[in-house]
Amino acid sequence: MRLEEFEQTQSQASSQVQVFLKDSWLSTLRSAIRSSLSEAGKGWFNLDETIWEVYKISKLAKFMQLVNFAMQDTLRYLVQDSLALYKQTVHDGCHEVLNVQEDLVWGEDIINSPYKPKKNPLFFVDLTMDKDGVGYGIDLQNFEQTVISLFDKGIACTKNVPQLEKMVMKKLFWSATPLLETVGENEPPVVETREFIRKATQKSIIPLIAYAREYEKYLELFNLDINAYL
């Protein structure tokens, strides 16, 4: 998969998750709670309560608090599991290059690579040669920028999800829409995972640069004007 295809696929997945969390998920839970308690009438589970003081001491308020905690736990597990999978995907693709040095020399064998992923390569890149030298069909720095940007988008898509309480208690006055708490982008495990992905991506570029250098000896031949030579 090329980098732009990977970016498009991951961005679409994040957008779909965001839509689900703010639409289908909330609507399904709201409908389930309201339909289950619709016959409760006035009392501890009065869905039509209009007085905040009465609502706050009701069993319904305590129940909604538990629902809120459960939803926040769900968001946290969703983010943690997704980031762990993303990290593992990068690790599987880069595990052979994590300890390479900047001065790496590829060697004479340009057919077989000693740096093989555990499964399939994450990305396809095109080696290019012209009068200006040997390189690739994409700026290699884009890989780090893209994978980190997608990492942060994966976290951001779980932010600003409304709490369910306002949607269930429709007759109470709400001055604002309370939001569910989720994983923060600066939490230590998140920072650690982001830095691992950043360093792994940086390391993966080193063999690419070293590999391209091995073709420099063929530049003169590649750029030869055949008509002039003949």
Confidence (pLDDT) at 38: 80
Over residues 9-60, the pLDDT tens digits come to: 999 999 999 999 999 999 999 999 999 988 776 778 899 999 999 999 999 9
Confidence (pLDDT) at 42: 76
Average pLDDT rounded to a whole number, residues 161-186: 94
Confidence (pLDDT) at 39: 77
DSSP 212: H
> Model-level pTM?
0.87
For the chain, give the mean pLDDT: 92
Looking at the chain, the whole-number percentage of residues with pLDDT higher than 70 is 97
CA distances from 90 to 26, 79, 147, 148 (A): 32, 16, 9, 11
Q: Is it the case that residue 155 has pLDDT exceeding 60?
A: yes
